Amino acid sequence: MKEAQDKGQITILLVDPVSRTLDDHAALLHEMGFFTHLQAESGTEALAMVNNFGPELIIAEQDTPTINGLTLLRLVREQDTPEAETVFVLYGANLTSRQVAQAGRIGVNAVVSMPCEREGFKTKIHEALHPPQEPEDEKVEELYDLSVHQISDGQLDQALDTCQSILDIHDNAEVYYNMGYIKSLKGQLEEALLCFRRATTINGHHARAYRQMGLIYQKLGREEEARSSLETAAEIHMERNQNSEAEEIFNTVLTLRPDTTNVYNSLGIIYRRQGRLEEALHAYEKALRVHRDDEYIYFNTARVHLDMEHLLLAQNCLRQALKLNPDFTEAIDLLRATEMGLKINI
3-state SS assignment for residue 117: coil
Q: What span, in angstroms and rounded, lies between the C-alpha atoms of 344 and 346?
A: 6
Q: Is the dihedral of CA 239, 51, 105, 93 positive or negative?
A: negative
Q: What span, in angstroms and rounded, lies between the C-alpha atoms of 344 and 334?
A: 8
pLDDT bucket at 6, cuts 50 / 70 / 90: low
Q: What letter would DSSP give residue 310? A: -
Strands (E), the chain: 11-15, 36-40, 57-61, 87-92, 110-113
CATH architecture of 9-129: 3-Layer(aba) Sandwich (3.40)
Within 10 angstroms of residue 106's Cβ, the number of other Cβ atoms is 14
Domain positions in the chain are 9-129, 259-346
Greatest mean pLDDT among 168-172, 204-208, 284-288 lies in 284-288
Contact 213, 189 (CB under 8 A): no
Matching fold, domains 9-129 and 259-346: no
Model pLDDT for residues 26-70, shown as the tens digit of each residue: 999 988 888 888 999 999 999 989 888 889 999 999 999 989 999
Topology, domain 259-346: 1.25.40
What helix, strand, coil percent values describe the chain, rounded to 5? 65, 5, 25
Model pLDDT for residues 284-339, shown as the tens digit of each residue: 999 998 888 899 999 999 999 999 999 999 999 999 999 999 999 999 999 999 98
